[in-house]
Amino acid sequence: MTELWVIVPAHQEAARLGDTLDALAAQRDRDFTLVVVDNASTDTTAAIARDFADRAPFPVRVLDEPEKGVGCAVDTGFRYAIANGARLLARTDADCLPHPGWTAAARTALDRGAGLVCGRIDARHDEHGPVGRAVFRTMVCLAAFFGRIRPAHWRRRGYLSPYRMHAGNNMAITVALYETVGGMPRRPSPTDRLFLNRVRRHTTAIVHARDMVVANSTRRLAAYGLIGTARWYLDKGSGHLGEDPR
């Protein structure tokens, strides 16, 4: 039984999931079990995951989570992994491309004593040109800066560690800490900041691993525009814009 389990929540991801699964199959450290959580999809997302399981170089489980919301899917996947013997948990999303050293970097950081590991995100090269990727990187930097200066995130609010930008599509955590903080909020996105702040109230063992890299989809930027995406990162959700495209 593997101690590292990777969770991938997926909703209507038939067009992108295959690339994510191939990126996981290309990992240098493939000693893990993969759980794909189909979150109320009506397309062929689950079928793609099950087909991949037949040729994957590691064990693959495909779960159904009928309650819509990325937090619901992630929590269901994590708790399934825990019930089946996981000690370490990692997550990426079904529209992301983990670099080949992603699982190795996550395992190394957790084995060295981290409780929560936040990786580095970049924009996918197949969705936007250099300008779009530069805009994405700028928005990530601005979101990280705003998070650090936001009064609600200051340590005097009861947090044990300073705020650090946390992308749910590139994270790893120990089972012990996940259970201690009560798990992922079971709600639609955004959930990242809520979860990070749960962790910050319990530990200082939060690290940023620059070698734990995921190429992130920029389709939210295309769908929402600059202002809409900024509102999303400020925890406003998708509002009148409809279902989050991730």
Domains of the chain as residue ranges with CATH? 4-237 (3.90.550.10)
Mean pLDDT of the chain: 89
Write down the pLDDT at residue 125. 86
Instruction: Please state, for a pLDDT cut of 90, what percent of the chain lies above it.
Output: 65
CA–CA distance, 169 with 129 (Å, rounded to integer) = 21
Write down the pLDDT at residue 52. 98
HSE-up of 105 (CA within 13 Å, CB side)?
21
The answer to whether residues 227 and 215 touch, using CB atoms and an 8 Å cutoff, is: no
Q: Which residues of 83-114 are buried (b: 16+ CB within 10 A; e: fewer)?
A: eeebebbbbbbbbbbbbebbbbbbbbbbeeeb
User: Which amino acid is present at 136?
Assistant: F
- What number is the average pLDDT over the span 12-40? 97
Write down the pLDDT at residue 241. 47
Bridge partners, residue 88, by sequence: 4, 174
First-to-last C-alpha distance (Å) of the chain? 32
The pLDDT tens digits of the residues spanning 112-125 come to: 999 999 999 998 88
The answer on pLDDT for 2 being more than 80 is yes
CA–CA distance, 217 with 241 (Å, rounded to integer) = 18
Give the helix ranges, DSSP H, for the chain: 17-25, 45-53, 70-83, 102-111, 130-149, 175-180, 192-200, 219-231
The pLDDT tens digits of the residues spanning 191-234 come to: 898 999 999 999 999 999 999 999 998 776 666 665 665 555 55
This prediction's pTM = 0.88
HSE-up of 67 (CA within 13 Å, CB side)?
12
CA–CA distance, 213 with 71 (Å, rounded to integer) = 22
Write down the pLDDT at residue 56. 98
